Chains A and B, each alone.
Chain A
């Protein structure tokens, strides 16, 4: 458990993805089965047991510490679990805070005899002193303080002592396996006693990690996908391979690790509706077209929804099992129960999840109301009817179609959707074009190129090679995405904050604002924050600007000069706008990034909030 705790601890501070991977893979390499398997389960969210509530943790600490000291500590640390993990007292110290009993010292020789006399005296008399007069002095027991072990010599603490002064007779800390398997079977009433035992046995970091496990939220910035990628790296395997077999695996994943270490066969996924690693597109640049032949490509709309994979298959009893996966392989079926009945033909559809009202595709803002919901109410289902628009077919009944060229898969898809004949699932139309100029025109005006009234939900066009097989990842030259031009505004840099990891010496997170009428004169109101879109060279330039034009510092945040004639104008590109009561400006941007630095423009010429509000009205009209 302590080794796992160490891993979580380090991961919680590590900002870099590759470094996180190295840390996790290193752990898998170093730690034996079944502990590492349970660690993988914890990181991928595959563990399930009854979770402890904060009230339980409060009760535990209240039974072991002085409430005043706990209160002061909690105020200082700010996080309940962390406070308790840090101050959890060692066993056998009665009323709370730990007190390793130092033997009293030999009186300093120069102090003379008076010292020996005075020590016991000074304590006994303090119980009568003013500061104690309002207390029950008879109850004050300064026993550990003096009068015992007079012969001992105070040595300070040696290294061993300071590490585990009271651990000599303690049982060893639990392994992760013990913790996980015990939690699975433990009755609710037994939980407090068990937690207490573990807290006694673990060190500070171990206790912190234990709380993370039992409260059910690791929150250390590790996705399931990342943990699986780290596991794959153990055996130099492609993460997609792990993803493919994942649904058939269960903790502690002995078969998976055996395969990764070359000691066993590849586990077989017996899942009737497995996830298939998704194929992704490269963003196309203007210069790419010259080398591409329009005849070799099929174009289709890129819908502004959520890319999903909808899979149905027959289980061993012949029943249909249906699942909806996000593009990272996360099972999101539970959030969209209304789509499940429509997935009744065995097969795997690659498509876009959208909200359709009276046949019209709604904006992404509308779809957002259905995302990340724990409870999907009938009302929600009714008001936000879910829809799947199909792009591709990866499997048709038992047949894996991924090796086939796209043009062929597309034909199969059309047949499949026709056979399915379901109002919730339709085909994403192709966009006919003969030349790049024709496609450019279609992209500029989707409404008159076939998208009709749904044109506002079109995010751009996709180009797919007719002969491209369905390959996992982002293979070169097969699929291209050609997004519509983003919205652009000119905003003024207001605040800058240091980045993380590699960027920790740079001011790389920027809050920008636009003008609005204030009391008396115009003022800037923040409308968003962006931390990418610029080149390395531009980052250096902005960083330099920030350092030279700071008006105030608040911890890691710098106020940067932003006056009508002094300041930096940033051209900000973004995908959409939403009303947001949390922002002072009342609007929130989707996917904002810095597209250009406008050194040439004085701040007073930057955009106004009214411009954004107009855009918002246009978007709201769709919703």
Chain B
């Protein structure tokens, strides 16, 4: 069992409330996943590259990180430390060098992109959301996950969302049965998962398909042929939001749409506080059917 929530805004008016709405949705899914929680939020673009990094010893690790990085990258770097995470704003074209820098220092990269920031930790969703101040965050869309671990350990890196490409993230309810096989295939293609987690394999799969030129819908369609097991996936890209369920569709899913937003929840109760939910179109996504929205 796990809990998934997602919110994709169609109008800008709700942008300042995105974090607040997502936090309430996430907390209602605590029963489905009390082990860890995470959220990917697509906020304002800065013109550069945002990189979210994590450390278990933030006070030591993040001290002077921005200055050291600026020197190596040869350009201005700003840093916003949020609990165990830091969001770095880097000059364009420096991602590879920045990733090498992090790797050498043992700092974990949670994700990178023009607008996506990603925060995840072990603990109850309400505590994780409070530590990162998710309520105060604005943005165009976001995806959250509460995890009840089955396929790999309860760790920060095993928490969802998984990001394996710029501005891409994926969350998963279910368990994959061919992830070891797919891990080998994806590693050969240059999309090697960093953990033993089955969900990260799915994220790498989507990233590989997008890199090959597929659009989000085509990449999601591919999961139905190439991934075996139980899954409800919700995927975010810089401009898009997608959902797909496996053909058996045991893992629960419900969606709601109004003129203002598209929302996803593992259960209806995740929607209870959304504005206009009483008159929203609410439906259960069909098995083996891809749903996606792009702006």
Partners in one complex: no
Binding site for B on A (CB under 8 A): none
